[in-house]
Amino acid sequence: MEVIILRGLLCVYCVVALVIAIFYLRHRRLTLGEYAFWGLLAFVIPVLGPFFVIAARPGPRKRLRRPRKSGG
């Protein structure tokens, strides 16, 4: 029974880490090819891949569009 629980937790961790890496990549300015490469890296190396993707910080950050406050 413990083996099943540990495998389940590992699978859940892998999925959550992949989702976090993909959301991180969405906030970077990347071409489609770069996005595919880094996403595949996070997917192919399931446990450490997302850490590599986030640590590498590919591409520049996207600027957040915030409405300007009118000084009045």
CB 53 within 8 Å of CB 38: yes
5-19 per-position pLDDT tens digit = 999 999 999 899 989
CB 57 within 8 Å of CB 25: no
3-state secondary structure of 30: coil
Mean pLDDT, to the nearest integer, of 24-47?
88
Among the listed residues 59, 60, 64, the one whose alpha carbon sits nearest the alpha carbon of residue 36: 59
The whole-angstrom distance between residue 47's C-alpha and the CA centroid of its chain comes to 13
Give the sign of the dihedral formed by CA 18, CA 19, CA 24, CA 26: positive
Stated as kind and residue range, the H or E segment containing 5 is helix 2-26
Q: Where are the domains of the chain?
A: 2-56
Per-residue pLDDT at 57: 86
- pTM for this model (two decimals): 0.72
pLDDT at 2 over 70: yes
